[in-house]
């Protein structure tokens, strides 16, 4: 293995946005380590796949230890793993709440804590993937909204604590089409940008933020939603 290659760790990289980020970085000659609980997930060329529940402290520590041993460096950490439990708050159990908070929010704390020295040594970058749900909500999404709002705040806190060696930024996607029924014409028209987002939209911004071109950007949140959160909506 060529240890001169920059190394990126992408959590939740088996499918959807994470898979697109991993593929984009691999195309740009990064060695990519994809971590996910879904063993069926593919592996981008030039990297490897690791099964990891990122809400579990011992699993995260073992993952970072494997990066230290096998790759020998860590230049970018992309905290993308996420789950949701959508149900009325009266039906949401504490275990379900903790699962969402653990996977979506606590995991970033665990990963950065374990990978801090590697990231400082490489003068690397962290990208967290939150959501526009940090700023706006549908009913019955309390755990998800809380986790994503916390992730935005954790991002700017980390950007100060890890400075100047490590840059930390957050991407908050809006409607990104990854699965299910294809968007309808009206769904595209609802967006000021004229279309629903794709995983590649998020991957492109991630690749920029971890590159030298993003070297003056830290502590920022980038809302990538086709303009929806800026759109006034009146009842018809």
Q: Does residue 234 sit within a domain?
A: no
Q: Does residue 122 sit within a domain?
A: yes
Q: Does residue 1 sit within a domain?
A: no
Is the bond preceding residue 164 a cis peptide, omega within 30 degrees?
yes
- Whether pTM > 0.85 for this model: the answer is yes
Q: Does residue 2 sit within a domain?
A: no
Q: Does residue 230 sit within a domain?
A: no
In angstroms, rounded to a whole number, what is the distance separating the alpha carbons of residues 108 and 174? 20
pLDDT in single tens digits along all 236 residues of the chain: 667 799 999 999 999 999 999 999 999 999 999 999 987 765 555 689 999 999 999 999 999 999 999 999 999 999 999 999 999 999 999 999 999 999 999 999 999 999 999 999 999 999 999 999 999 999 999 999 999 999 999 999 999 999 999 999 999 999 999 987 889 998 898 898 999 999 999 999 999 999 999 999 999 999 999 999 999 988 87
How many domains does one find in the chain? 1
- Domain with 213, as residue range(s), is 7-225
Q: Does residue 233 sit within a domain?
A: no
Which residues are known catalytic residues?
Answer: 144
Residue 42 is predicted with a pLDDT of 58
In whole angstroms, how far apart are CA 105 and each of 13, 143, 153, 177, 200? 16, 10, 10, 23, 23
Closest CA to 128 of 166, 96, 154, 97: 154
At 142, which CATH number? 3.40.50.720
Q: Does residue 148 sit within a domain?
A: yes
Q: Does residue 182 sit within a domain?
A: yes
């Amino acid at each position: 293995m060529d240890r001169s290659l920059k190394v990126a760790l992408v959590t939740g990289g088996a499918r959807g946005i994470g898979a697109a980020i991993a593929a984009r970085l691999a195309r740009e000659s990064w060695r990519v380590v994809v971590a996910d609980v879904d063993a069926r997930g593919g592996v981008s060329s030039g990297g490897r796949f690791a099964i990891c529940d990122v809400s579990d402290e011992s699993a995260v520590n073992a993952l970072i230890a494997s990066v230290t041993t096998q790759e020998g460096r860590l230049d970018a950490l992309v905290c993308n793993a996420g789950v949701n439990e959508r149900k009325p708050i009266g039906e949401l159990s504490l275990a379900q709440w903790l699962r969402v908070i653990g996977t979506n929010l606590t995991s970033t704390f665990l990963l950065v804590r374990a990978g801090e020295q590697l990231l400082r040594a490489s003068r690397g970058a962290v990208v967290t993937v939150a959501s526009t749900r940090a700023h706006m909500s549908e009913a019955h999404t309390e755990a998800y909204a809380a986790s994503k709002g916390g992730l935005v705040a954790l991002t700017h806190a980390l950007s100060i604590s890890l400075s100047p060696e490590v840059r930390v930024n957050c991407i908050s996607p809006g409607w990104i089409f990854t699965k299910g029924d294809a968007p309808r014409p009206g769904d595209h028209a609802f967006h000021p940008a004229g279309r629903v987002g794709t995983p590649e939209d998020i991957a492109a911004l991630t690749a920029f933020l971890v590159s030298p071109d993003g070297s003056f950007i830290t502590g920022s949140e980038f809302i990538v939603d086709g303009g929806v959160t800026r759109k006034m909506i009146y009842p018809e």
